[in-house]
Amino acid sequence: MHQPSAPMILTASVPVQTARSSARVWCQRHRCTDVDEQASVQHNWSLRYEQVSAGRFDGEVTLVQLPGLRLVAESANQAVRQVGHIGVGHYGFALVDTQPGEAFFNGQPLTTQTMMVGRSDGLDMLTPVDSRLQGIVVEHELLSSLWQQLYQRPLAQWLEQQVVIQLAHERASAVRELHRGLMQRLHDAPQLLDDRRVVQQWRDEVLMAWIEAIPGRPDLEGLKTTEARKRLVDKACALMLAQPDQPMTMLTLCRDVGASPRKLAYCFREVLGSSPARYLRAVRLNGVRRGLKQAAAPGVGVHDVATHWGFWNLGEFAGDYRRQFGELPSETLRRARLTA
């Protein structure tokens, strides 16, 4: 913290390169055409992705596992909400690399000059269309040890939260350049992971760069207000999805969460950059898509899955589904059965 004055794989799905690796050191690259696939390739993490914007999905994830530290680079052509955890007893640090639209981390707005920092559980991030991000996930023991050596004190308590921190432009640029350069070098020559001394040197250099980019006194003002808005949004989402086949009216939803329509709409806008109705529709369409991909039984059809998620006008639903995912629901179902 700055002080004040396994194999390489291309999913979907052809192996493109192989490097000798141990259980604790490996490098992988995945190209994904489905949002659920992109969530699932991130090993030992539990993530759920919802495609929020409309269109065919195309994404890429590069993962480099070093002892106690994982480097990540991720891109997607659609807006995506990511919810879940990125390991147990870990801490995450991340930067949005390009941001053509609104982005949020646990209800806090992001820019290309802000860093996401905090514990690994309870992750909730929304990235915009055509975004790229890079980050690291570090084990508690490694981070705590380095923090003690650098600053002669235990880990800062604010790291137990999930916060967005403003960075100086030059420090954000330096972290990006180092991170991107190392990822590319390993992609071009993955055999470098065989050298234990090089691996440890790179790991320590990357971790130091991320920590030192943090200002000495992170500004956490307004965090409690942001957390209150997010709790309201999370409660509303849980209620809306409790009975997916019976979509709630806005009046019922507002009554049950104890907020006026204006307040609820404001909180959704501040936390997810969307209206409640628009966000719920996207989540329900994602639910249908997952249901179709899992509907291997011959007796289950598009109608069954669609009505389970509250879509009763099948003609209108088919049009909405095609706009959201770039294909008809029947095509999703057909492909799922061919690969079952």
| Per-residue pLDDT at 135 exceeds 90 | yes
CATH code (residue 85): 2.60.120.10
Residue range 123-142: mean pLDDT, rounded:
95
pLDDT of residue 17: 33
Asked if the structure places residue 3 within a domain, the reply is: no
Residue range 255-263: mean pLDDT, rounded:
95
What phi, psi does 52 have (nearest 5°)? -90, -35
Residues 207 and 229 in one domain: no
What separation in angstroms does the CA of 266 have from each of 67, 256, 305? 43, 17, 32
CATH code (residue 335): 1.10.10.60
- DSSP letter string over 102-136? --EETTEE--TTEEEEEESSSEEEEE-TTEEEEEE
pLDDT in tens, 290-327: 999 998 777 889 999 999 999 999 999 999 999 999 99
* Domain end position, chosen among 185, 212, 239: 212
Asked if the structure places residue 65 within a domain, the reply is: yes
Residues 157 and 228 in one domain: no
Residues 229 and 198 in one domain: no
pLDDT in tens, 31-78: 999 999 999 999 889 999 999 999 999 999 999 999 999 999 999 999
| Per-residue pLDDT at 4 exceeds 80 | no
pLDDT in tens, 180-238: 999 989 888 888 999 999 999 999 999 999 999 998 778 888 888 999 999 999 999 99
Asked if the structure places residue 162 within a domain, the reply is: yes
pLDDT of residue 219: 80
Number of domain units in the chain:
2
Residues 250 and 309 in one domain: yes
Residues 53 and 91 in one domain: yes
CB atoms within 10 A of CB 18: 12
Residues 208 and 229 in one domain: no
Residue 1: pLDDT band by 50, 70, 90 thresholds?
A: low
pLDDT in tens, 101-131: 889 999 999 999 999 999 999 899 999 999 9
How much is the pTM?
0.88
Residues 242 and 206 in one domain: no
